[in-house]
């Protein structure tokens, strides 16, 4: 099967999102050397992980060019490695960073909630690794590999990001510091936009929805950067306007 136009478009916009995500994550990680905050480092690593589900979309057309029309186990391994094994590492970094930040504010009930979510994530990861061979029910396409169990796993990841993110946002918005409040608003936009973009990409098929989803994800990454490491020019502008 020849590489089609839609496959190329999806790969291009997936590449754009992955590039934006990784660039912003590297900028966040780089600030670790300035502030020496382990939480910033963990957040940067975690945000890179959010691009994992779209990496196969970038690479799958290459499989089609190299080995057109053939569905090999390499593509399955790629998707499960990226979407199950690798993505779990950034999510764990995310949970650890939030635990550190929330514990510092003595938000014990939030800490317990996120701990429970983390345990559920680890349990599901182990379950998928043990039984993924028997649970594969999808089919490999040029740019997309679908599996019901994989979709469920990614949906759980989205819920974890949304719930834990909004908990952190709630703490930030309640702060008496104006800058922290503004950061909280940017983070809220990021945590709302990311699940929306991911769900559009997961539920609705079609080239238009794929493009819109990836653009929303790009905006989400930018909002996350503004909320976590607010550029000085934005900080001055917003505070001046107030």
Answer for the pair 152, 192: CB distance below 8 angstroms, yes or no. no
Cβ neighbours, 10 Å, residue 223: 21
Give the DSSP letter of residue 174. T
Q: How far apart are CA 71 and CA 91, in angstroms?
A: 30
Please name every residue paired with 140 in a beta bridge, in sequence order, or none if there are none.
145
Q: What is the structure's pLDDT at 110?
A: 64
Task: Give the start-to-end residue ranges of the domains of the chain.
Answer: 5-241
What is the sign, positive or negative, of the torsion defined by CA atoms of 192, 195, 200, 201? positive
Q: How far apart are CA 43 and CA 60, in angstroms?
A: 28
Q: What is the structure's pLDDT at 72?
A: 54
Q: What is the structure's pLDDT at 212?
A: 93
- For the record, the structure tokens of 8 come out as 């190329």
Q: What is the structure's pLDDT at 33?
A: 80
Answer for the pair 9, 211: CB distance below 8 angstroms, yes or no. yes
How many residues would you count in the chain?
242
CATH class of 5-241: mainly alpha
Answer for the pair 126, 91: CB distance below 8 angstroms, yes or no. no
User: Which stretches of the chain drop beneath a pLDDT of 70?
Assistant: 1-4, 66-85, 103-151, 153, 238-242
Q: What is the structure's pLDDT at 79?
A: 66
CA neighbor of 100 nearest in space, from 158, 50, 37, 180:
37
């Amino acid at each position: 099967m020849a590489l089609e136009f839609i496959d190329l478009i999806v790969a291009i916009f997936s590449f754009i999102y992955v590039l934006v995500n990784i660039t912003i994550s590297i900028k966040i990680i780089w600030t670790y050397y300035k502030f020496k905050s382990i939480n910033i480092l963990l957040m940067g690593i975690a945000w890179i992980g959010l691009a994992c589900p779209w990496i196969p979309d970038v690479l799958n057309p290459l499989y089609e060019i190299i080995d057109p029309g053939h569905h090999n186990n390499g593509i399955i391994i790629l998707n499960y490695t990226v979407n199950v094994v690798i993505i779990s590492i950034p999510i764990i970094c995310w949970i650890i960073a939030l635990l550190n930040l929330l514990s510092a504010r003595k938000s014990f009930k939030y800490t317990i909630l996120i701990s429970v979510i983390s345990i559920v994530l680890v349990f599901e990861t182990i379950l998928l690794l043990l039984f993924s061979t028997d649970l594969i029910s999808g089919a490999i396409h040029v740019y997309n590999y679908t599996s019901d169990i994989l979709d469920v796993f990614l949906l759980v990841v989205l819920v974890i990001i949304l719930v834990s993110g909004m908990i952190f946002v709630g703490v930030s918005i309640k702060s008496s510091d104006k800058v922290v409040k503004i950061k909280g608003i940017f983070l809220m936009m990021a945590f709302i936009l990311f699940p929306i973009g991911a769900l559009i990409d997961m539920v609705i098929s079609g080239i238009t929805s794929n493009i819109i989803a990836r653009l929303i994800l790009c905006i989400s990454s930018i909002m996350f950067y503004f909320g976590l490491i607010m550029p000085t020019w934005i900080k001055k502008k917003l505070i001046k306007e107030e």
